Amino acid sequence: MIAVRDGRARERSDGLAAEEPLEIRAAGPGQEPVRVAVTMRTPGHDFELAVGFLVTEGLLAPGGVAAVAYCEEPDAQRYNVVTVRSRTPFDLGAAERNFFTSSSCGICGKAALEAVAVRCPRVVDDATADPETLLELPGALRAGQRIFERTGGLHAAALFDTSGRLLLLREDVGRHNAVDKVVGAFALDDADGGGGILLISGRLSFEIVQKAAVARVPIVCALSAPSSLAVQAARALGVTAVGFLRRGGFNIYAHPERVIA
């Protein structure tokens, strides 16, 4: 690349974050795998990403994974196709309905909220976190972003317990993928994020709140701003939503009782 600094151009090398497509397929016992989605992601933790995506879209229960594997077809890009096999029959019709109602193309916020509420019960969790604990989380997130330090091109999602102890951190070119990798890691262990704090780099979107609610995470924090629909979803789904979490403070947009007594 050519780096321009102080009016001078210089050729130099640079580390870039990898980005490749991942096709996610799913099948139940005796079923042929079907393509559910294709997402652009940073390679790594692909099984977690595939499982987490299916779980947070309401298509697979955390304990419902029978097997996960890369594609064995000779003409396929093997490591860019992952098949998740569930313990029970996979409902492709449910997948099609979920993607239609959660699409941002012509679907109003009310319809999106109603669709999520149908497949995701309200989060009822007595977990609480001290304000001082939340203020320590951005530093822990940044310290764990090893690839970001080299490339500057990745988002991160991390799950902490309410005392501020880091449980798991994942990086990806997409915020949604980073969250799915975290959820998928716990789902593969037949667990969820109940009682924890999810912190994401960047802004807090409707989809992130949805994924957190499905994973039963009661507190979601972001380094940047939430969207209006994210706040509506958090209020409706019982998720504590925190934005602009930085060294000097933060804003609480939904369910402050978990942070402020």
Q: What is the CATH number of the domain that holds 214?
A: 3.40.140.10
221 given a catalytic annotation = no
Among candidate residues 105, 108, 120, 221, the one labeled active-site is: 105
Give the span between the Cα atoms of 257 and 129, in whole angstroms. Answer: 10
Query: Do 228 and 143 reside in the same domain of the chain?
Result: yes
Residue 9 lies in a domain: no
Residue 234 lies in a domain: yes
Residue 58 lies in a domain: yes
Residue 3 lies in a domain: no
179: amino acid identity, one letter: V
Examine the fold and report which residue of 119, 148, 179 is the final residue of a domain before the chain moves on. 119
- pLDDT at position 137 is 97
Query: Do 107 and 163 reside in the same domain of the chain?
Result: no
Range of the domain at 149: 131-258
Residue 124 lies in a domain: no
What is the chain's pLDDT, residue by residue, as a tens digit (261 residues)?
888 888 899 898 777 778 899 999 999 999 999 999 999 999 999 999 999 999 988 889 888 999 999 987 766 577 899 999 999 999 877 666 555 434 333 345 555 566 665 567 899 999 999 999 999 999 999 888 776 555 556 899 999 999 999 999 999 998 899 999 999 999 998 877 778 999 999 899 999 999 999 999 999 999 999 999 999 999 999 999 999 999 889 999 999 999 986
Give the span between the Cα atoms of 104 and 214, in whole angstroms. Answer: 19
The residue among 128, 243, 120 whose CA lies nearest residue 192 is 120
- pLDDT at position 103 is 37
Residue 88 lies in a domain: yes
DSSP letters spanning 160-172: E-TTS-EEEEEEE
Give the span between the Cα atoms of 241 and 54, in whole angstroms. Answer: 23
Which residues make beta-bridge pairs with 160? Answer: 166, 197
Give the span between the Cα atoms of 180 and 189, in whole angstroms. Answer: 14
- pLDDT at position 78 is 78
Question: How many CB atoms neighbour CB 149 within 10 A?
Answer: 12
Which residues make beta-bridge pairs with 170? Answer: 157
Query: Do 158 and 252 reside in the same domain of the chain?
Result: yes
